[in-house]
Amino acid sequence: MEEITRLIAVRHGETAWNVDTRIQGQLDIGLNATGIWQAQRVGQALADEPLAVIYASDLSRAWQTALEIAKPHGLEVRPEPGLRERAFGRFEGMSFAEIEAELPEQARRWRERDPEFEPEGGESLLVFRERITRVAADLASRHTGELVALVAHGGVMDVLYRAATRQELQAPRTWQLGNAAINRMLWSSEGFSLVGWSDIAHLAAEGGPRDEFAN
Which parts of the chain fold into alpha helices (H)?
16-19, 33-45, 60-70, 96-102, 104-111, 125-141, 154-165
DSSP 60-91: HHHHHHHHHHHGGGTPPEEE-GGGPPPP-GGG
Residue 138's CB: how many other CB atoms inside 10 A?
A: 11
CB 115 within 8 A of CB 86: no
**Does the active-site annotation cover 12?**
yes
- The answer to whether 3 is a known catalytic residue is no
DSSP 8-state class, residue 95: B
Of 14, 68, 80, 85, which one is the catalytic site residue?
Answer: 85
Q: Is 43 in a helix, a strand, or coil?
A: helix
Cβ-Cβ contacts under 8 Å for 105 (sequence gap 6 or more)? none
Task: Point out the residues that are catalytic.
Answer: 12, 85
